[in-house]
Amino acid sequence: MKYRNLGNTEVKLSATGLGCMGMSHAYGEPDDAESIATLNLALDLDINFWDTADVYGNGQNEKLISQVLKPNRDKIFLATKFGFRATPDGKLSTFDGSPDYMKTAVEASLKRLQTDVIDLYYAHRIDPNVPVEEMVGAMAELVKEGKVKYIGLSEASANSIRRAHAVHPISALQSEYSLLTRDVEAEILPLCKELGISFVPFSPLARGLITNTLNVADLKEGDFRKSLPRYQESHAGNNQSLAQGFAGIAEGIGCSPAQLAIAWVLAQGDNIIPIPGTKKRKYLQENAGSVEVELSAQNLADIEDLLKKYPDTGARYNEGYFKFVDKN
């Protein structure tokens, strides 16, 4: 495994982390035994950067991870998040970034994770009803109390990042970034580089779409991709052709499409640490191999040409999810 620094610190994080959401949330039925085996394999592969959130499975994901985290605490850099409130069936309802809610949320996460400190604590979104300075100020108090080591933001605008960073150093910003989702390239990536913030892309595989293994017609009930524009039949032809073309480029390089997609993200900056999510060992092993893929200028040009050929990929979120994305 190769490593990259967290922000301006000397903390070494595996160049590809592990997104744990799908083990308990959003992608069909959980398989706890396979998920535990996947977490243990992550240790064997020296993948030390694990990502969860209190809302994933309404706390169940944190409890699941704790089974491997507790006996291996010194080997894992654990990130979790707060802010989303969910209905009993797991659907996101509101976002609460208030200091009072945060204090309750962090104690609940610490208890579920069976640890006395969270390595990286993210605000899962920006609350339009709470000044970001107030929210980050409260998060900074958790650092002083020793309950949190570093703080981060997720899906925040450039303005919010600057305001937050002026209150307390932001070590990481997590947002969606992949070959098909590149909004962050205009302002966010340059700003993170300027301020010394690690950029942590989630869904670097476009939720499986770029791997050439996903048939949108086969998505099962309970898979939240069924509600997203990008995974509808209206975009299926474009995206299938794109995935097939991308697989051809990967074959020419000698890697899998998934490895190429992650390698492309890694190549966009040395402060970028993607967290591809999986709940299966075979995919974790494959994803870990992406750090060995070297891309030439011609490879990168070929990818850009392919993307221009199939532009009708569809939006990453529906209106309901977009309302939680900070635009201020």
pLDDT tens digits, residue range 236-274?
Answer: 889 999 999 999 999 999 999 999 999 999 999 999 999
Whether residue 50 is predicted with pLDDT greater than 60 in this model: the reply is yes
Query: Active-site residue numbers?
Result: 56
Q: Is the pTM of this model over 0.75?
A: yes
For the cut 60, the answer to whether the pLDDT of residue 322 exceeds it is no
pLDDT given at position 293 = 98
Question: What's the CA dihedral at 275, 280, 281, 283 to 10 degrees?
Answer: -60
Name the phi and psi angles at 123, rounded to 5: -80, 120
Segment 90-117 mean pLDDT? 93
What's the topology of domain 3-206+258-293? TIM Barrel (3.20.20)
For residue 121, which of 85, 151, 144, 78 has the smallest C-alpha distance?
151
The overall average pLDDT reported for the chain is: 92
Is the confidence at residue 282, as pLDDT, over 60? yes
- For residues 106 and 149, the answer to whether their CB atoms sit within 8 Å is no
Per cent of the chain over pLDDT 90 is 79
φ, ψ (nearest 5 deg) of residue 257 = -55, -40
Residue ranges of the domains in the chain? Answer: 3-206+258-293
* pLDDT at site 314: 82
